[in-house]
Structure 1
Amino acid sequence: MRNIVEALLKLSGGSAIATTIDDISREANTIRHVVLENLKALEERGVLTVINDNLVIIHDRISLALHGIRHGLDIEKVARYLDWRDFEQFSALCFEANEYDVLRNVVFTYNNRRYEIDIVAFKKPRIVCIDCKHWGLRKGKRSQLKKASIVHKERVMAFGEVIKHNPRKYGLSSWRYAFLYPIIVTLHEEPISMCEGLPIVPIFKLNSFLQSLDAWSDSISYLHVRIHEDDPPWLKHMK
């Protein structure tokens, strides 16, 4: 299965969403009927569609990647086949399924500096700010993760100032206050962890994390913003 999944990820990269069973068979070095048998199993999961036992349409590359990891594909190898669009699409769907309003690629300026947040999700009084990292946590990545956590926290603090002074731009005119949660979503098959007070959430656990955010709220960093008031936003650090 893992050779077939890797072939699917490789052949569906970029703007391509379709391939053929013959191409998959050659790329995976696997005979055609075995490829077709495995594709039918993936089709039952909603990951792809097989047309006339030949054309293959890929619908969900993130689920395909996670399926490959669970069948022994190397995480770092999988990550090379994914891009930020795959992560953002899946993350946005998780938030929408949990009744959040979602904005993607939010660009703003604060103190003459340009910032961008991959995903900002709103559900009163919470605003969840996501930084998508399409790498795992192999050796050498921990230092990158620490740096990314610090930078993302600064990014969210700047966004807190922006929404405080211009809430109408983000549909927050009726909000009296907001809690902003900076979160990093990444590709790894490990438990949810913490870095610099920020949750590091495996993408396949994002939905369950959102459903249990109340339980996490006392142990993670968040920014408390009083909208329409002069009090500066303040950051609550992890205990």
Structure 2
Amino acid sequence: MSFEREVLVSLLKITREGAADFYDLCRETRIPSQIVRDILDKNSNLVTYSLPLEKVMITYEQRMKIALRAINLGADIERVCTFLTWLEFENMAILAFKANDYETKKHFRFRWFNRRWEIDILGLKNPFIICADCKHWHHKWSGSASIKAANMQMERTKMLAEAFKALDHRIPVSAWKYAYFIPTILSLLPANRKFYNNVPIVSVLQLRDFLYQVPAYLSKIAHYQFSL
């Protein structure tokens, strides 16, 4: 058994509602308290441990990093993901957008061609509109599943671009001269490939770097350009 792996997975489990008691963590793992302390010290960049209060605290971002660390140590992906919520995943993405000065809209719904469409997260920063589809993480997230997701997100993004002028009252870009609509897939784990049909597949922990690099790599990624 990897003590570190078990401690990290148990951390995800007992901190789903916020800070947790150190000794609850020890009981959950059934690992001696000194070993648990040593593991927390080793992962001090991922965990805030208050010795006087015997409390363990971790942020959204730290929980995502702990999940990846546990998986890299051999933890079962499905097991890890049962302790992560969809809201955490979306909030982590929102933080990355805001860190790069993007405005965001969650669950953006619209009608076009007699159909209802939804974009999980819109990221807005002149002249870019990132249309992100948040995919739940699991071991089958590769191959045909990635290709299908990329193609569907391209279609959603194209529909939004075509419908955009009818929706401009809902998206604050009236001062822009033009816009690039960029379909993007977000996941917890990196996919086998970074692009499918030029649609970027981005780990949520790499989203900040991706957003920073969008202007330089625009010609290499799928997008739809419209004058406003």
Q: TM-score range by the shorter chain?
A: 0.7 to 0.9
Between stretches 27-36 and 68-77, larger displacement belongs to: 68-77
Superposed structure 1 runs of 4+ greater than 6 Å apart: none
Residue equivalent to 1:212? 213
Q: Judge conservation of contact 2:8–2:67 (CA < 8 Å) in 1.
A: yes
Q: Judge conservation of contact 1:191–1:202 (CA < 8 Å) in 2.
A: no
1:54/1:198 CA distance change after superposition, 3 Å: same
Residue equivalent to 1:58? 58
Greater RCO, 1 or 2 (C-alpha within 8 Å, sep 6+): 2
Between stretches 32-41 and 177-186, larger displacement belongs to: 32-41
In 2, Cα distance between the equivalents of 1:36 and 1:53? Answer: 14
Residue equivalent to 2:29? 28
TM-score, with structure 2 as normaliser: 0.86
Q: Which amino acid is the alignment partner of residue 33 of structure 1?
A: Q
In 2, Cα distance between the equivalents of 1:68 and 1:53? Answer: 26
Q: Judge conservation of contact 1:82–1:134 (CA < 8 Å) in 2.
A: no
Counterpart selection for 1:7 from 2, 7, 10: 10
Between stretches 176-185 and 62-71, larger displacement belongs to: 62-71
In 2, Cα distance between the equivalents of 1:47 and 1:159? Answer: 40
Residue equivalent to 1:128? 130
Q: Which amino acid is the alignment partner of residue 56 of structure 1?
A: V
Q: Which amino acid is the alignment partner of residue 86 of structure 1?
A: E
In 2, Cα distance between the equivalents of 1:225 and 1:3? Answer: 50
Cα displacement (A) at 1:126: 0.5
Residue equivalent to 2:99? 97
Cα displacement (A) at 1:203: 2.1
Over the aligned positions, Cα root-mean-square deviation in angstroms equals 2.3
Q: Judge conservation of contact 2:46–2:66 (CA < 8 Å) in 1.
A: no
Q: Which amino acid is the alignment partner of residue 96 of structure 2?
A: C
Is 1:37 the equivalent of 2:38?
Answer: yes
Between stretches 94-103 and 212-221, larger displacement belongs to: 212-221
Cα displacement (A) at 1:99: 1.3
Residue equivalent to 2:87? 85
Residue equivalent to 1:231? none
Measured against aligned partners, the alpha-carbon deviations of 1:5-24 in whole angstroms (never above 9, x if no partner) come to 100112233xx113222221
In structure 1, stretches of 5+ residues that fail to align are 228-239
Cα displacement (A) at 1:181: 0.6
Is 1:174 the equivalent of 2:175?
Answer: yes
In 2, Cα distance between the equivalents of 1:50 and 1:117? Answer: 40
The sequence identity of aligned pairs, in percent, is: 32
Measured against aligned partners, the alpha-carbon deviations of 1:78-102 in whole angstroms (never above 9, x if no partner) come to 2332232111111111111111112
In 2, Cα distance between the equivalents of 1:89 and 1:140? Answer: 21
TM-score, with structure 1 as normaliser: 0.82
In 1, Cα distance between the equivalents of 2:141 and 2:134? Answer: 18
Q: Judge conservation of contact 1:110–1:158 (CA < 8 Å) in 2.
A: yes
Cα displacement (A) at 1:76: 3.7
In 2, Cα distance between the equivalents of 1:192 and 1:179? Answer: 23
Q: Which amino acid is the alignment partner of residue 39 of structure 1?
A: L
Cα displacement (A) at 1:139: 4.9
In 1, Cα distance between the equivalents of 2:193 and 2:214? Answer: 12
In 2, Cα distance between the equivalents of 1:63 and 1:100? Answer: 23
Between stretches 84-93 and 208-217, larger displacement belongs to: 208-217
What is the total number of aligned residue pairs between the two structures?
Answer: 223
Cα displacement (A) at 1:41: 4.4
Cα displacement (A) at 1:161: 2.4
In 1, Cα distance between the equivalents of 2:159 and 2:51? Answer: 49
In 2, Cα distance between the equivalents of 1:201 and 1:100? Answer: 17
In structure 2, stretches of 5+ residues that fail to align are none
